[in-house]
Amino acid sequence: MDCSRAQQSQASDEVDKTTAVVEKQQHSQSKQVSKDVREGEKTGAWKYPKNQLSRIMRPDDANIVGNVHGGNILRMIEEAGCIVGTRHCNTQNGDRCLAALVRVEKTEFLSPVFIGEVAHVTAEITYTSKHSLEVQVKVMAENILTGAKKLANKAALWYVPCSLRNVDKIMEVPPVKYASAEQEEEGRKRYEAQKMERLETKARIEEVMPSPPNPEKHTVGFSQSSLIHLVGPSDCTLHDYVHGGVTMKLMDEVAGIVAARHCNTNVVTASVDAINFHRKIKKGCVVTVTGRLTFVSNKSMEIEVLVDASSLVEAEKGKYRAVSAFFTFISLDKDNKPLPVPALKVEGEDEQRRFDEGKARYLQNKEKRLSDKTRRQ
């Protein structure tokens, strides 16, 4: 405990020393954005700045040992994607619109981000269909005391532009120019694949059963956790619907609680499988975010996170499934080295089915990582 306080104190001192440097960087970046806007107005084509967001990581962004929460990184990713998507969709005449998040592809947390480091989030539109757009986002972590940089995260997000006059009206997306026909074809394949997966996920929606009283340790019921949150104005977009980044942050927090309860150690987000946004969540709704273990390997835990929403004043409308995803967490020792994870005790046919499905996803992702590693070599 004393060690943690010392680490946080040291990190806080570094934050205070480097704030002026960060503000200078952000001022320079703001000037570059203004220049890009002026050039875009002259040429009729928008130039996207490389760094949409840059922010220093402070103690309230991290856990007690200084690792920045994965949910905070996800929220920054969504904010950058929303900015670049909304700007692009409003370059055409007609109703003004706001880019709404509908899906996040599998996201790998490649390197941890620590207190005092600066997270640089770059967003770029890589494909557009008639009513949706794909945004590729990259997060670089920089130690501005040493100059060291590392790739922390890469993600692909899908947005649809919703009219500000009528949130149910989906606007058309201005096309983008591709470097080659192959690039456009690859984007089209990604679009068709995510569209099919979203439909399949929506069809698989199931209820969350409450955990049994006095569950045995290392069972699904023992670590299952829920968080209840009332959606307020600060959580919402101009449409009065919840920001996707706010929802993802809540989901990561619940998944982290589940993982920590199972192994009783420091845990961090390793990856997130596709996050599907099934229905919008409006201001004034009560959201229930539930996490439960579905699979455990030697060094990782897969946690299914489900977000259900209901109106606080219109209870007769009932509860509905809004978002679903699978988070993968790993257990770490005091030196941030992976630790073995206790085995999961499976009880009943439903838990066994979810465990088998989780194992299949784990093996598939493991095979893909090995394939990607071989291709890079």
Separation between Cα atoms, residue 15 and residue 22, nearest integer Å: 10
pTM: 0.81
Which residues are known to be catalytic? 63, 252
Q: Provide the pLDDT for residue 18.
A: 43
Q: Provide the pLDDT for residue 371.
A: 74
Q: Which of 71, 64, 15, 8 is nearest to 246 (CA)?
A: 71
Q: Provide the pLDDT for residue 24.
A: 52
- Quick one: tokens of 53? 């967001």
Q: Which residues of 151-177 are buried (b: 16+ CB within 10 A; e: fewer)?
A: ebbbbbbbbbbbbbeebeebbebeeee
User: Where does the chain have alpha helices with state H?
Assistant: 2-43, 70-89, 181-203, 220-223, 244-263, 348-376
Amino acid at 174: P
Instruction: Write the CB contacts of 232 (distance below 8 Å, at least 6 apart in sequence).
Output: 283
Q: Provide the pLDDT for residue 375.
A: 67
Q: Which residues of 34-48 are buried (b: 16+ CB within 10 A; e: fewer)?
A: eeeeeeeeeeeebeb
Are the C-beta atoms of residues 341 and 263 closer than 8 Å to each other?
A: yes
Beta bridge partners of 134: 127, 158
Separation between Cα atoms, residue 7 and residue 359, nearest integer Å: 37
Q: Provide the pLDDT for residue 203.
A: 64
Query: Could you state, in chain order, the average pLDDT of each consecutive group of 10 residues for the chain (377 residues)?
Result: 48 48 46 45 42 87 90 95 93 91 94 95 95 95 95 96 93 92 95 88 72 88 96 93 96 96 94 94 95 96 97 84 96 90 95 96 86 67
Quickly list DSSP for 256-316.
HHHHHHHH-SEEEEEEE--EEE-S--BTTEEEEEEEEEEEE-SS-EEEEEEEEEEESS-GG
3-state SS, residue 98: strand
Neighbours of 179 (CB within 10 A): 7
